[in-house]
Amino acid sequence: SGAWTAQQARNLLMDVGERAGRLKFLIRDRDAKFSKAFDQVFTGCGIGILKIPPRAPRANCYAERFVGTMRRECLDHLLIYGERHLRRVLAEFERHYNDHRPHQSRDQTPPLHEPGRVIDLSAPVRRIKAVSGLINQYQRAA
């Protein structure tokens, strides 16, 4: 129902916390479960609502691509033993995806890349385990 989805939207914004300020838009389909109350939760925080065109499933391709990537690279390889564990794994994968994983469309840089940061190429490389040890990230030691 609309009240339930609006409450889920409020829960999401509470979980995201101060990072919600970085969000500009919510792209969603036109399902009836997304009521005006649902939209108002996001617009009240300054997040614009963009509805995909009717009968256009390809317009939702960015969300579908991210969900597919998360399943292939993360969830298909782990045994999740509860909601709390799932939330922790998803948060770790999100950090990896946005902070470290190279993106082809962004010239092999992650979305939160810091281009002005100077990297000492003579420093040794260190491995950092991420997402419950499933993924290894490599960076120069400071």
Interval 32-70: pLDDT, tens: 889 999 999 999 999 999 998 887 777 777 777 888 888
Q: What whole-number distance in Å separates Cα of residue 93 and Cα of residue 97?
A: 6
Render the chain in DSSP notation, one character per residue.
-HHHHHHHHHHHHHHHGGGGGG--EEEE---TTS-HHHHHHHHTTTPEEEEPPTT-GGGGHHHHHHHHHHHHHTGGG----SHHHHHHHHHHHHHHHHHTS-BGGGTTB-TT--TT----TTSPEEEEEETTTTEEEEEE--
pLDDT at 113: 64
pLDDT digits (tens, 9 = 90+) for 80-133: 888 898 998 888 888 887 777 776 666 766 666 666 667 777 888 888 888 877
Q: What whole-number distance in Å separates Cα of residue 106 and Cα of residue 118?
A: 19
Q: What pTM, to 2 d.p., does this model score?
A: 0.51
- Number of Cβ within a 10 Å radius of residue 38: 22
